[in-house]
Structure 1
C-alpha cells in the first residue's frame, strides 16, 4: 500500500521536505500526491518543479481530498494548531513541523484529538532520525560515557530579520524557531524532564526573544547548558560528557553527518544527493522522518517511539517555561483549547 503525502504550503521547508523524499533512492512506495497553498500560482509552480500531480489552493479541499493519506504541515507556527486540527478532523494522519504548537495547551488539544480519532500525529523533530543520533544513543546505552553529567549545545544563525523569527504575529521566537533543537537534544540524552529550568534572554522591539541562555538541571546532578542566538553564527555543536568520557556532535549538530566517538575516532554518515538545491543545511536528512511515519502508519501506531506524544508535550512545556521567564507572551496563551 502506497503512503500518499499531501504537502500543506509551498514554502522553503516544504520544498526541502519534498526534495528529500523524491531524491531518496530507498523511499519505497511513498509518493508526494498533492500540494496546497493559498496562492494557486505558487502551488502550481511548486507542483511543476517536484512533479506533483494534484494542486489545491485551499487547505480544506486538500484535507477533504481522497487523494492523500497523510499531510505534511509546513505552515507558519501560528497556523500549526488550526491546520493540523483541520486534517485530523478529516481523517488524515499528520506530520507537523516543529514546534508542534505555540504552547502546551494547543499541543495537548491536538494530541488528544489525534488519539480520539485513532490517527497518527508526530512533531517533525527530524533530528531524532539522524543516523548520528541513533549511533550516539547506542553508545550511551552501552555505557561508554558512564553516567551523563553535562550537556552543552549552541545554536546560532543570523536570522533576526526574518519575519517568522522576529514578529510576534508570525509566532516569532528564537526558542521556538531554533531553540527547539537544543531543547530536544538535551531531552534526547537525559530522557527525563528537568527538575529545574532557568532562562535569560534578550527581546527585540516586538517583544520576541532573539537570544536565550538556558540551564536545565536533572536528577542525579545532570545539567544542560544551552545557548540560542538569532543574531550570530555560533559554533553549532553539541557535547555530551559523562563519568567515562565525552562525545562531540560537530556543526551542524541538529542534523549532523559525522560523529566523534568516545575514543576520539570520527565516523561519517553521508547523506544522499539531489539535482535540485536545498534551502537549508543537510535537508536531505528530512527523508528519514518520512520513513518512520510510513512505518508507523503501516503498523497501526499512533505515535513514534523516537518522538512520542509525551516528548512533544515535554518540549511544549519547556518552551512555555522559557518564554515566561524571558517575557514572551502570545494572545493564545490566554485562550482555552478543547
Structure 2
C-alpha cells in the first residue's frame, strides 16, 4: 500500500460531487488524494475532473478498476449498479466505499461482503451518519448513563422527492426506504445495537410499485421501540429523539448528518462543519469527509471493515429493508435471483 491513499470516483453524479468536494475542501484530510474519476459519459467525467482538479479521467469503469493509479473506489452510482460495480473493483484488488444502500437486497449484500472477505479487501457501506461528530458526542452522552435505560426512539425523514427518477422508478432501484428511510433504520440500530424482534410497516406505493411513504415500528427486547416515519411526498420535521428512563436527547434537523443536538441537560450543542468554495447538492454534505477519514484509517490498519459501520450492520440493514419492502409489496427482479 502506498503512503497516500488514492481514491477513484465511480460515476460523476450529485453525490459523487459532494463527496469529492467534502474531501478536497477539508483542511485535515491527511494523506489521501482523489486521483481519478470514471463515468459512462466521458465528457461528463472530464467536466467533473476539471471542476475538482482530478488528474485522471476514465470513460470505462473497467479501465478504472484495472488501473494501478488508485487504491480505493468510491461508488456513487445508482442503486441497481452497486453490487456489480463494487464486485468489479474488488475483483481488481481495490478497496471499496459504496453508497447506501450497499445492495438492492440481502442476498446481494451477503454475496458482496463474502467476496470482499475472500479477497481480503476493505468494504464499507457509506452510511456517513455513523461518522458525524454529533453522533459521536451523542453516543458519549448515552454511554454516560445520563438517559438511564433507553426505551424509545422516534425519527422522521420526509423530503418532497416523489418526482425524482432515482426514487420513483423501480428499474432505478427506486424506494423511499432505500433512499431516505435507510437513515431512520440506521439511527434506530445506532441507538439500540441489536436486531429488532418484530418489524411492522405500513405505507403507500406509487403506480410503479415503488414505496413512497411508510411508518415503521421496530420492537426490540426489553420493551424498547423505534417509530420511524418516512415520506417522499412532503417535508417533515427531520429530527430524531431518544428517550430513556432518566431523560432525552434530540438530534436536530437534519438528523441524518446534523451539526446540532440538545443534550441530556437540555443544552444546545453545536459542532459546525467546514466550508467550501464550491456549492453542495445536499444539506451538510461537508460531513461526507468523515467516512473517507475512516476508510483511510481502516485501510492503513489492515482492517477489512469499520467497527463503526461493520459488515454485520450492513447485513442487519439489508434484512430490515427486505422485510419492510415485503410487507409493503415492493418487489425487485433481483429478489428472484441467487448470488454466489
Q: Give the alignment's TM-score, normalised by structure 1.
A: 1.00
2:269 is the alignment partner of 1:281: no
- Structure 1 segment 154-173 matched on structure 2, within 5 A: 154-173=156-175
Matched pairs, number? 338
Among 224, 249, 252, the alignment partner of 2:251 is 249
Q: CA deviation at 1:315?
A: 0.0
Aligned to 2:310: 308
- Structure 1 segment 280-299 matched on structure 2, within 5 A: 280-299=282-301
Instruction: State the SS of the aligned residue for 1:27.
Output: coil
Q: CA deviation at 1:29?
A: 1.2
Following TM superposition, the consecutive aligned residue runs of length 4 or more in structure 1 with deviations greater than 4 angstroms are none
2:231 is the alignment partner of 1:229: yes
Aligned to 2:104: 102
Q: CA deviation at 1:207?
A: 0.2
Aligned to 1:179: 181
Q: CA deviation at 1:278?
A: 0.2
Quote the RMSD (CA, aligned, Å): 0.3
Q: In the aligned structure 1, how far is the partner of 2:131 from the partner of 2:146?
A: 21
Q: In the aligned structure 1, how far is the partner of 2:303 from the partner of 2:148?
A: 33
Q: Deviations over 1:212-268 (max 9, x none)?
A: 100000001000000000000000000000000000001000000011001101111
- Structure 1 segment 261-272 matched on structure 2, within 5 A: 261-272=263-274
Structure 2 unmatched ranges of 5 or more = none
Q: Deviations over 1:81-140 (max 9, x none)?
A: 000000000000000000000000000000000000000000000000000100111111
Q: Deviations over 1:279-304 (max 9, x none)?
A: 00000000000000000000000000
Instruction: State the SS of the aligned residue for 1:33.
Output: strand
Q: In the aligned structure 2, how far is the partner of 1:145 from the partner of 1:322?
A: 29
Q: In the aligned structure 1, how far is the partner of 2:149 from the partner of 2:47?
A: 52
Structure 1 unmatched ranges of 5 or more = none
Q: In the aligned structure 2, how far is the partner of 1:63 from the partner of 1:12?
A: 21
Q: CA deviation at 1:163?
A: 0.5
2:141 is the alignment partner of 1:134: no
Aligned to 1:205: 207
Instruction: State the SS of the aligned residue for 1:178.
Output: helix
Q: In the aligned structure 2, how far is the partner of 1:160 from the partner of 1:148?
A: 34
Q: In the aligned structure 2, how far is the partner of 1:223 from the partner of 1:167?
A: 32
After superposing the two structures, state which structure 1 stretch, 139-148 or 154-163, moved more.
Answer: 139-148
Instruction: State the SS of the aligned residue for 1:311.
Output: helix
- Structure 1 segment 45-84 matched on structure 2, within 5 A: 45-84=47-86
Among 209, 216, 219, the alignment partner of 1:217 is 219
Q: In the aligned structure 2, how far is the partner of 1:270 from the partner of 1:135?
A: 13
Q: In the aligned structure 2, how far is the partner of 1:263 from the partner of 1:194?
A: 29
